[in-house]
Structure 1
Amino acid sequence: MQPKSLGTPQCPIARSLERVGEWWSLLILRDAFDGLTRFDEFQKSLKIAPNILARRLRGLVEAGMLEKHLYSERPARYEYLLTEAGRDFRPVLWALLAWGNRHLAPEGVSVQIVDGETGAAAEPVLVDRHSGRLLTEPPFRLAPGPAANAGTRARRSRGLRQHHLEEEEGHV
């Protein structure tokens, strides 16, 4: 059973987990990226109980990841389409896929990301949109943003002090 709230409204990771952190939700999003849109398609793919699927789809709609559209009036049937926020989630799923291939696939890679033009295997990395540089530490780190409250500023300040200590000790 998942908690109702992670209780850290300033943390974007906690906010993200509240929206999509439940594993059925991630698999529904994976299937939506594969083109599935209808309840019965998700149910067949995931072999999930109808009540759980209905709850997860409702949660993804409420979170703004999917939109619900009526495609049949009698009986009422809906399809679920990715929203802009949902489509923006693709790199997160691809990063999970790459991490799983690297660390959790002793039998080898079963699904991989490939270049659609060449067929060559691709390896996702995070880069800064402005500079094009890889997001590695150092020089990149977490810092409080303009909307950070005092607690978030203190937490990020502790992280910065720890980073400087590690740098001085030669661990970075």
Structure 2
Amino acid sequence: MVARKSLKGDYCPSARALDVIGDWWSLMIVRDAFDGMTRFSEFQKSLGIARNILAERLRTLVERGILVAVPTAEGRARMEYRLTAMGKDLFPVMVALRQFGERHLFAPQEPRSRLVDRAAGRPLRLDITAEDGRAIGPDEAVIEKVPEAG
């Protein structure tokens, strides 16, 4: 298997973020954590993932600060995995992925899960705005690159 290149020192924030959470199993674990799952068995049942792969992804998510492992009430041998503040900051990323999937990967009347406001039961929407409140799309944004050292 080819070793993964680290993006830890890259100047691009997207690259560094992908270095921390750049595989789909990890994002699916984070999705399930947002859905309230905390235990190894819950993640395994939801995802149908092999135990060794799940254990490795959970270990990596803990090492990188996305999840924290805490002993369960039953004792120290069993752990629960909870989102850290850093992990909770992935919420807009998960909403954006969901909106992309809803917009492009489902037929209009095809059944799908919904993400709703817990208090009101209404669907959520993620919009990108400038500091002054204007809606911004890809044509109105530009990445300011770090100047190359000469």
* TM-score using structure 2 length: 0.84
Where do residues 7-156 of structure 1 align in structure 2 (5 Å cutoff)? 9-71=10-72, 72-73=74-75, 76-106=77-107, 108=110, 110-128=112-130, 130-144=131-145, 148=146, 150=148
In the alignment, the residues of structure 2 paired with residue 13 and residue 109 of structure 1 have an alpha-carbon distance, to the nearest angstrom, of 32
| Letter of the structure 2 residue corresponding to residue 29 of structure 1 | V
SS at match of 1:143: coil
In the alignment, the residues of structure 2 paired with residue 137 and residue 52 of structure 1 have an alpha-carbon distance, to the nearest angstrom, of 36
Contact 1:98 1:112 in 2 (8 A): no
Contact 1:10 1:149 in 2 (8 A): no
SS at match of 1:78: strand
SS at match of 1:67: strand
Aligned residues: 147
SS at match of 1:43: helix
In the alignment, the residues of structure 2 paired with residue 103 and residue 8 of structure 1 have an alpha-carbon distance, to the nearest angstrom, of 33
**Deviation of 1:104 (Å):** 0.9
* TM-score using structure 1 length: 0.74
Contact 1:101 1:108 in 2 (8 A): no
Task: Give the % identical residues.
Answer: 45
CA displacement 1:71-112 (0-9 Å, x = unmatched) = 2436x0111110011001011001100100111112635023
Measured at CA, do residues 5 and 142 of structure 1 come closer, stay the same or move farther in structure 2, by a change above 3 Å?
same
**Deviation of 1:134 (Å):** 2.0
Cα RMSD (Å): 2.4
**Deviation of 1:11 (Å):** 1.5
From the CA coordinates, give the structure whose radius of gyration is larger: 1
CA displacement 1:14-64 (0-9 Å, x = unmatched) = 111111111110000000000000111111111111100000001111111
| Letter of the structure 2 residue corresponding to residue 48 of structure 1 | I
Where do 5+ consecutive residues of structure 1 fail to align?
155-172
Measured at CA, do residues 119 and 50 of structure 1 come closer, stay the same or move farther in structure 2, by a change above 3 Å?
same
Where do 5+ consecutive residues of structure 2 fail to align?
none
